[in-house]
Amino acid sequence: MHIPDGLLSEPVWVGMGAASTGAVAVAIRRVNRSLTADQVPLMGMTAAFIFAAQMVNFPVAAGTSGHLLGGFLAALLLGPAPAVIVMATVFAVQCLLFQDGGLTALGANLFNMGLAGSLGGYGVYRLLLRLRIPPGAAIGVGAWLSVLFGAAAASIEIAASGVAPARIILPAMLGVHSLIGIGEALITVAAITLLGRVGSLRAKGIAR
């Protein structure tokens, strides 16, 4: 889902860059007001894990592959605002050091794969908890939808740039990423379970 340079039109990548910059600025202000000493190493470890996990691709279908996005997982572990900062750091390093996604598209890539997961998927998860859906199922659905949110946002950006009409790019992207989302859900549920956090998430309700 990493968008390269030259694919998005200037108004689109500038607008997405501004939106992502604003979101990161708001996240930094919120984290500065509530950051505790124990959160700092956890943010670093989460960023390192997501960065490494994104380097591992898993096969999907017809020669395509996917990888963990991790925004929703970061939000579960840290809360939405710290997760936004973590994802901004991950995508900036990937772009600047590994040329994974274009520099002009960095804001769009952060929005699609970071903010949609950190905020969109997390919002769905909290809603499902209020509806008394079991936490494990809520995590799986939130993780799956976080991938679809990102794919939909990328599709809209590409269509708005005149690359392909939305009626073509949107179903194609959502079809592939609905399968990738299954991998995201399985990895996220497994990671949370491995960390022994499902019980504590149920108790605290991730009230951050």
> Given a cut of 60, is residue 202 above it in pLDDT?
no
> Given a cut of 90, is residue 11 above it in pLDDT?
yes
How much is the pTM? 0.85
pLDDT digits 0-9 by tens, 120-134: 999 999 999 999 999
> Given a cut of 60, is residue 207 above it in pLDDT?
no
> Given a cut of 60, is residue 208 above it in pLDDT?
no
> Given a cut of 80, is residue 51 above it in pLDDT?
yes
pLDDT of residue 64: 58
Q: Is 104 helix (H, G, I), strand (E, B) or coil?
A: coil
Helix runs in 61-121, H state only: 71-78, 80-98, 106-109
> Given a cut of 50, is residue 95 above it in pLDDT?
yes
What's the farthest any 2 CA atoms get from each other in the chain?
48
- Cα separation, 115 vs 20, in Å, equals 8
Closest CA to 190 of 124, 139, 155, 123: 139
* pLDDT, average across residues 171-175: 90
- Cα separation, 157 vs 19, in Å, equals 13
122 burial type by CB count under 10 A (0-12 exposed, 13-18 middle, 19+ buried): buried
Q: Which domains does the chain possess?
A: 10-204 (1.10.1760.20)
pLDDT of residue 63: 56
Residue of 34 and 204 predicted with greater confidence:
34
- Cα separation, 203 vs 198, in Å, equals 9
CA 178 to chain centre: 14
pLDDT of residue 12: 96
Mean pLDDT of the chain: 86
